[in-house]
Amino acid sequence: MPSRQTIAVIAVIVIIVAGIAAYLAVTSHKPTPTATTPQTPTATKTPQAKLELTGNLKEDLLRVAKVLTSNGIHTVKFTVWGAGDPNSVMRTLGIVEAAHRLNKILEENGVDLKIVVEQRFERGGGNELFKEFLAAYEQKANPDIMANSYIHLAALASQGLLLDLTPYAEKYTGLLNDFYPALLDAVKWHGKIYAIPQDTEARPLYWRKDVAQCIYRKTGINILKDLAERVKEGKVTWSTVYHYAELAKKTGCAEWGMIHRKGTAHPDLIQFIYAFGGRLYDPKTGKLVLDVPAVYKWLSVEYAFARAGLTPKNMMSWDWAKQIHPTVVDGKTLVFIGGTWHWTEWQTKPYYTDPKTGKKRPLTPEEVAKYFYYTLFPAGEEGGKPVTLSQPFVWYVAANAGKDNPKYQQLSDAYHALAFLLLVKASDPDINAIHSIISSHLPVRRAAAKLLRDKAWIEKLAKLQLDLAPEVKKAIAPIVKATVNPINIEFLANVSSYLEYTHLTPKHPYYGKLASIFADAVDKVLRGEMTPAKAVKYIIAQVKADPDLAKSVEIVGKIPENWKFPTS
């Protein structure tokens, strides 16, 4: 019989063996990590493959919707901001209408997904909204889509705040090819597409018909005969305009020959640079260009007009409401360098002195058509081409578009693609044409421009018999009533063709500084304080003295020898 000590030793051994067996049992069932075994989640996620679009709107919409609904998403919210005059509400309502149309496609195909758009439209320019966007982005409170001027594109894109739309847009070549080419240039930065054109304008040269008729009665010279075509063909140059302006003053038919904007050279007077074959930007270097020959010739025109008393010497300090517009609408000048928006502005602002009452009032549409003839901005000299200038508004998509929706990190590509499809649908010809008519902007698509000549469609718009979202129809009803006028629509239809000749000012961040120096030089030339040659040297000196401009501006060419603006 074993002793107590032996029994104790055996007990200890049993306990040890049992402990070892238990440990081995546990460890033998512990899974070995493999490539397929779920690991502890980390902050980074494997990026999903890019959601490719096909260029077929319906097919693309349903593909995106399938991705979202399969992940339990049945409502997608987007926000859109926009700014402009009170009649430009389609800058945001266009996105609302686009969502309405996409929702109808989804519903018709039995897809349980709805797009909801919250809009904010501010009256005024887009600069303040641009600043708000920048501040809001830092707080992740920015809108998904913003309608604003193209001039902000470079700043937004260079900071990574915009979605690169190039992969999507390249699939929609049919849409892209219908936009006027210059407007597509407006939405590109370093070869990539960062926006879609929304609206634009042009800058005609307005001619007073009554002043021209007075010249004809007194001299037998019919300056309006085929004038628009002659300008298009380059047969009318700024020397021709000078000659006609001189006739207006010498015959007593007008007090002035030419009136233009005050204060700044941007953008109206910048047209002279393009009209003389010059340029303002070099895409290869990314620098601004001071095209000396073109600027010299532009200043020579200003100098000649002022010295002959055809343009006021203090033109750059005139008041818009008290001097410029009253002079133009009362027929005291032959020509005016203006914009397409002035056609309707003269119908809404009391610039005109009624000859019967002596009181100020707006012109009627009939009176504007009676008094004003319009052409492209003529070529600078023989052999040149006419031009105009546009500053389009565009729709931007934020780089974080869709951020306020569920599973954004996982489904961001689907949200981005859907935001782009909203822009595609908002670019429908009828949406663009409605905006053009009620806001007096030019359509950005040729298909929309054709609708401006479709009398049956215009009649439906006037009666609001178009299939529009209820909230959109309600919002534009009073504007439609006030603006759908055959005379104004015909004007917009006619000047839409000017976009084939249009130019843009650079998106360069220091362009404003250069334009300001141009304006200062124009003022000195008009007043006779400097000759065109001295003014060009002054501009060069100012550019070199500014650290930003000195490294950002290429000075190209020199003052042409033996060139003189022909005034006879």
Check if the beta carbon of residue 439 is closer than 8 Å to that of residue 344: no
Q: What is the predicted pLDDT for the residue at 125?
A: 86
Q: What is the predicted pLDDT for the residue at 509?
A: 87
State percent of the chain over pLDDT 70.
91
Q: Averaged over 249-278, what is the pLDDT? A: 97
Asked if domains 57-200+392-484 and 205-389+502-556 share a fold, the reply is yes
Q: Answer whether 0.85 is exceeded by the pTM.
A: yes
Check if the beta carbon of residue 218 is closer than 8 Å to that of residue 363: no
**Which pLDDT tens digit goes with each residue over 62-113?**
999 999 999 999 999 999 999 999 999 999 999 999 999 999 999 999 999 9
Q: What is the predicted pLDDT for the residue at 50?
A: 67
**Is the model's pLDDT at 32 over the cut of 50?**
no
The torsion angles phi and psi of 230, rounded to 5 degrees, stand at -65, -35
The span from the first CA to the last CA of the chain, in angstroms, equals 143
Q: What is the predicted pLDDT for the residue at 167?
A: 96
Percent of residues in the chain assigned helix, strand, coil, to nearest 5: 50, 15, 35
Q: For residue 461, which amino acid is it?
A: L
User: In this structure, which CATH number among 3.30.930.10, 3.40.190.10, 2.40.110.10, 3.40.50.11540 belongs to the domain 205-389+502-556?
Assistant: 3.40.190.10
Q: What is the predicted pLDDT for the residue at 491?
A: 97
Give the number of other Cβ atoms within 10 Å of residue 287's Cβ: 16
For the record, the structure tokens of 482 come out as 């006030």
Nearest alpha carbon to residue 565 among 194, 310, 243, 255 = 243
The position carrying tokens 């009533």 is: 481
**Is the model's pLDDT at 11 over the cut of 60?**
no
**Which pLDDT tens digit goes with each residue over 236-251?**
999 999 999 999 999 9
**Is the model's pLDDT at 345 over the cut of 50?**
yes
For the record, the structure tokens of 563 come out as 């060139």
Q: What distances in angstroms separate CA 375 from CA 243, 482, 504, one per listed residue?
A: 17, 26, 18
Q: What distances in angstroms separate CA 483 from CA 133, 266, 353, one per listed residue?
A: 31, 28, 23
Q: Averaged over 326-342, what is the pLDDT? A: 97
Q: Distance (Å, rounded) from C-alpha 394 to C-alpha 283?
A: 21
Give the number of other Cβ atoms within 10 Å of residue 557's Cβ: 14
For the record, the structure tokens of 84 come out as 């402009």
Domain positions in the chain are: 57-200+392-484, 205-389+502-556
**Is the model's pLDDT at 43 over the cut of 60?**
no
Which fold would CATH assign to domain 57-200+392-484?
Answer: D-Maltodextrin-Binding Protein; domain 2 (3.40.190)
The position carrying tokens 């407007």 is: 183
Q: Strands, DSSP E only, in 241-326?
A: 256-259, 281-282, 287-291
**Is the model's pLDDT at 552 over the cut of 80?**
yes
Q: Is 503 helix (H, G, I), strand (E, B) or coil?
A: strand
Q: Distance (Å, rounded) from C-alpha 387 to C-alpha 204?
A: 9
Q: Judge residue 461's burial from the number of C-beta atoms within 10 Å of its C-beta, 0-12 exposed, 13-18 middle, 19 or more buried.
A: buried
For the record, the structure tokens of 57 come out as 């709107």
Q: What is the predicted pLDDT for the residue at 371?
A: 98
For the record, the structure tokens of 59 come out as 């097919």
Nearest alpha carbon to residue 116 among 133, 135, 100, 139 = 100
Task: Taking the CA atoms of 208, 210, 211 and 212 in sequence, report the sign of the dihedral they define.
Answer: positive
- Mean pLDDT of all residues in the chain? 92
Angle of the 429-439 helix axis to the 455-462 helix axis, nearest 10: 70
For the record, the structure tokens of 144 come out as 């998904």
Check if the beta carbon of residue 519 is closer than 8 Å to that of residue 264: yes
Q: What is the predicted pLDDT for the residue at 229?
A: 98
**Which pLDDT tens digit goes with each residue over 505-519?**
999 989 999 999 999
Where on the phi/psi map is residue 135: left (φ > 0), alpha (ψ -120 to 50), or beta?
A: alpha
The torsion angles phi and psi of 331, rounded to 5 degrees, stand at 75, 35
Q: What is the DSSP string of 107-150?
A: HHTT---EEEEEEEEEES-SHHHHHHHHHHHHTT---SEEEEEG
Confidence of residue 51 (pLDDT cuts 50, 70, 90): confident
- DSSP at 324: I
**Is the model's pLDDT at 405 over the cut of 60?**
yes
Q: What is the predicted pLDDT for the residue at 124?
A: 87
Q: Is 513 helix (H, G, I), strand (E, B) or coil?
A: helix
Q: Distance (Å, rounded) from C-alpha 189 to C-alpha 178?
A: 20
- Give the DSSP H or E segment for 208: strand 205-208
State percent of the chain over pLDDT 90.
90
Nearest alpha carbon to residue 171 among 48, 59, 47, 78 = 59
Q: What distances in angstroms separate CA 176 from CA 50, 58, 162, 173, one per listed residue?
A: 22, 18, 19, 5
Confidence of residue 311 (pLDDT cuts 50, 70, 90): very high
The torsion angles phi and psi of 355, rounded to 5 degrees, stand at -65, -20
Q: Judge residue 72's burial from the number of C-beta atoms within 10 Å of its C-beta, 0-12 exposed, 13-18 middle, 19 or more buried.
A: exposed
**Is the model's pLDDT at 29 over the cut of 60?**
no
**Which pLDDT tens digit goes with each residue over 121-154?**
999 889 999 999 999 999 999 999 999 999 999 9
**Which pLDDT tens digit goes with each residue over 184-213?**
999 999 999 999 999 999 999 999 999 999
**Is the model's pLDDT at 7 over the cut of 80?**
no
Confidence of residue 502 (pLDDT cuts 50, 70, 90): very high
